[in-house]
């Protein structure tokens, strides 16, 4: 039967011949962009590289470190041009006297660091894979045929993206330094409440401007391959029950948690030494 003009414009919901016996929908899908591809899981099965999950967390940690160092460099460069010891504020050094509007300066410096971090994410290849992940998940959840044409029409933001959590916590992360000057039991609840009310908006803005960008053909194919592999495995495992532990493992939560713990342990072990070195080198 020929398609109508409306059908021709809409993403096709037909199944490829070699996917004819494979479901086009799966239980709620989670995913993560990795430096070289896309990881998808519905809890029962997964597609993609688990090692890629650890590499993603490592890349995020390195991006934060680079953003911190860039902030230090910028603050150091303009320190003599402003009547405020910005470098001392950035390094959390003890000041001989309270600097003029120090809470405001400290907040602005934190915002600068987050802007550097977001810019690094935007420029990295992961932002393209991140968009491909979202677009593929949208196509699967809509029951569309997984073709490049259909997936390309999908939005690159997603309401379940972890960026929404970042949007919720962003006001808190920016305002935490002000707890040096104002009661934490006022700053923290106010920041969390403001973030919660704006989490969808902030998350969408963060995704659209920083953490995703239009994927290249290679990145989009990586999303398509991950989506097709997930549906094939889901069809083969239909009716199979998995434990909560296995579901968490399939979703990559254990690999992510283990990587975060290792990185935090390294930060605890060497962070103090690095901080002391900075203070000695910069004479603060």
The tokens for 110 are 């934190």
Residues 220 and 198 in one domain: no
Domain's final residue, options 191, 211, 231: 211
The pLDDT value recorded for residue 83 is: 75
Residues 109 and 38 in one domain: yes
> What average pLDDT does the segment 64-74 reach?
89
Q: How many residues does the chain have?
A: 284
Residues 140 and 166 in one domain: no
Residues 124 and 261 in one domain: yes
In a domain, 128, yes or no: yes
User: Range with the lowest mean pLDDT among 83-97, 177-191, 218-232, 242-256?
Assistant: 83-97
> What average pLDDT does the segment 177-187 reach?
82
In a domain, 14, yes or no: no
Residues 168 and 149 in one domain: no
Distance CA 211, CA 57 (A): 14
How much is the CA Rg of the chain, to the nearest whole Å?
23
In a domain, 264, yes or no: yes
pLDDT, tens only, 204-238: 999 999 999 999 999 999 999 999 999 999 999 88
- The reported pTM is 0.80
Residues 83 and 202 in one domain: no
Q: How far is CA 78 from the centre of its chain?
A: 31
Whether residue 92 is predicted with pLDDT greater than 70 in this model: the reply is no
Residues 88 and 190 in one domain: no
In a domain, 71, yes or no: yes
The tokens for 167 are 């949007």
In a domain, 175, yes or no: yes
Domain's final residue, options 167, 191, 211: 211
Residues 55 and 140 in one domain: yes
Instruction: Calculate the average pLDDT of the chain.
Output: 82
- DSSP H or E segment with residue 30: strand 30-34
Residues 205 and 77 in one domain: no
- End-to-end alpha carbon distance in the chain: 77
The tokens for 39 are 């990881």
Whether residue 97 is predicted with pLDDT greater than 80 in this model: the reply is no
In a domain, 223, yes or no: yes
Q: Which residue do the tokens 């890349």 mark?
A: 59
Helix, strand or coil for residue 135? helix
Domain that holds residue 125: 30-156+216-281
- 25 versus 216: the higher-pLDDT residue is 216
The tokens for 121 are 């994410």
Question: According to DSSP H, which parts of the chain are helical?
Answer: 5-9, 50-78, 86-90, 102-123, 126-141, 148-152, 163-175, 184-197, 199-206, 217-236, 244-250, 253-281
In a domain, 123, yes or no: yes
Q: Which residue do the tokens 């939005």 mark?
A: 155
Q: In what order do the strands lie in the sheet with 46-47?
A: 30-34, 37-41, 46-47
Whether residue 113 is predicted with pLDDT greater than 50 in this model: the reply is yes
Residues 132 and 229 in one domain: yes
Residues 146 and 252 in one domain: yes
pLDDT, tens only, 135-156: 999 999 998 999 999 999 999 9
In a domain, 8, yes or no: no
Residues 50 and 129 in one domain: yes
> What average pLDDT does the segment 170-178 reach?
82
Domain's final residue, options 211, 235, 256: 211
The residue among 92, 65, 90 whose CA lies nearest residue 76 is 90
Number of domains the chain is built from: 2
């Amino acid at each position: 039967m020929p398609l109508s003009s409306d059908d021709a414009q809409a993403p096709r919901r037909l199944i490829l011949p070699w996917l004819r016996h494979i479901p086009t929908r799966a239980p709620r899908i989670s995913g993560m962009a990795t430096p070289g591809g896309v990881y998808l899981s519905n809890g029962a099965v997964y597609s993609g590289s688990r090692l890629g999950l650890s590499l993603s967390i490592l890349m995020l940690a390195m991006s934060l470190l680079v953003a911190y160092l860039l902030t230090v460099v910028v603050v150091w460069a303009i320190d003599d041009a402003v009547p405020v010891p910005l470098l001392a504020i950035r390094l959390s050094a003890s000041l001989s006297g309270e600097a003029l509007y120090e809470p405001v300066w400290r907040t602005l410096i934190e915002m600068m660091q987050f802007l550097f971090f977001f810019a690094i994410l935007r420029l990295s290849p992961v932002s393209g894979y991140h968009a491909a992940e979202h677009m593929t998940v949208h196509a699967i959840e809509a029951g569309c045929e997984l073709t490049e044409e259909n997936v390309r029409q999908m939005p690159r933001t997603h309401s379940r993206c972890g960026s929404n959590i970042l949007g919720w916590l962003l006001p808190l992360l920016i305002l935490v330094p002000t707890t040096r000057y104002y009661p934490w039991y006022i700053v923290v609840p106010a920041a969390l409440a403001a973030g919660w009310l704006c989490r969808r908006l902030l998350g969408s803005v963060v995704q659209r401007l920083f953490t995703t960008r239009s994927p290249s053909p290679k990145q989009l194919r990586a999303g398509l391959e991950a989506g097709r592999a997930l549906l094939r495995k889901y069809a083969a495992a239909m009716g199979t029950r998995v434990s909560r532990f296995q579901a968490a493992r399939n979703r990559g939560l254990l690999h992510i948690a283990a990587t975060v713990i290792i990185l935090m342990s390294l930060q605890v072990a060497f962070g103090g030494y690095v901080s002391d070195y900075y203070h000695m080198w910069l004479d603060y």
